[in-house]
Amino acid sequence: MLLGGDAPTPLDLRFRLGPFPVRVSPWFWLIMALFGDWVFRSLGLEYLAIWIACGFVSILVHELGHAVMIRAFGSPSAITLHGFGGYAEMPYPPTAAWKRMVIALAGPAAGFALCGFAFAGRLAVDPQRAPQPVAVALDFLFVMTLFWNLFNLLPVFPLDGGRVFREVCAILRARHPDAITHVVSVGVAGVIAAYSVGRMVGVISPNALPEWLQWLRPGLFMTVWFVLLAVENYQMYQVARRQYSPRFYDDDDTPPWRRR
């Protein structure tokens, strides 16, 4: 779903979560630590470890949502967490666009469910009596699951929002859904990157966005990330426009190993 090197390494953490093999790249821990640099500087090493653990749970639950739905539609799946997030493998994607859209939405749905759990925990825990690490962990988990999943619903491929946009184009029988998706992705990612740069250099006011969008404050890492997404989508658009993009999928939605 997100950018980042995902080649297997001897330092990978591997385990199973029910029917799903899980692999965690060492780059995942490093990038999470870099994202939590402000935690280390303000609260110390203990809370940086809590931040990393909450990020691990948040992204794992998100990818588990994808994996469960992939399996429900007849394909095996495995989960990989890497430098800039993670993904759930889908060796045999459904041919129906609406099923692929449901799979894309299942990750944010699982993330928002975890967000609700963290919010309920915050309300239930008495900050005067609960250990501070517990209260801080619930705060981290709430913020991560809320804002990261909102970011992930932006119409930028290969984020889930970009995948949903692509399948909507397919359902509406657009002639070239891939090319359209990549053009929109370049535009959205480029605007966000430009907005972030403008905020950092002081050209754009912090109040330029309406109040309901004030959460959209990408820092340096997010800015670089969206620049890379814009470049990647431009390259994919160049490929997509030269290739034939079928308007319709066949009606056989049976996984290959079940076909006769």
The pair of structure tokens assigned to 36 is 């939590």
Question: What number of other Cβ atoms are within 10 A of residue 37's Cβ?
Answer: 12
Residue 207 has pLDDT above 70, yes or no: no
Task: Identify residue 65 by its one-letter amino acid code.
Answer: G
CB pairs under 8 A, 24+ apart, for 97-100? 97/167, 97/170, 97/171, 97/249, 98/167, 98/171, 99/73, 99/253, 100/163, 100/167
What is the C-alpha to C-alpha distance for residues 226 and 219, in angstroms, rounded to an integer?
11
Q: Which tens digits make up the pLDDT trace of 29-72?
A: 998 888 888 888 888 888 899 999 999 999 999 999 999 999 99
DSSP letter at 130?
A: S
pLDDT score recorded for residue 210:
61
H-helix or E-strand spanning residue 191: helix 177-201
What is the spatial order of strands in the sheet that 13-17 belongs to?
Answer: 13-17, 20-24, 79-82, 85-88
What is the C-alpha to C-alpha distance for residues 205 and 30, in angstroms, rounded to an integer?
32
What is the C-alpha to C-alpha distance for residues 12 and 14, in angstroms, rounded to an integer?
6
Cβ–Cβ < 8 Å for 56, 32: yes
Q: Which tens digits make up the pLDDT trace of 183-197?
A: 999 999 998 888 888
Q: Which tens digits make up the pLDDT trace of 64-84?
A: 999 999 999 989 999 999 877
Taking residues 106-122, what's their average pLDDT? 94
pLDDT score recorded for residue 167:
94
Comparing C-alpha atoms, which of 107, 97, 102, 86 is closest to residue 22? Answer: 86
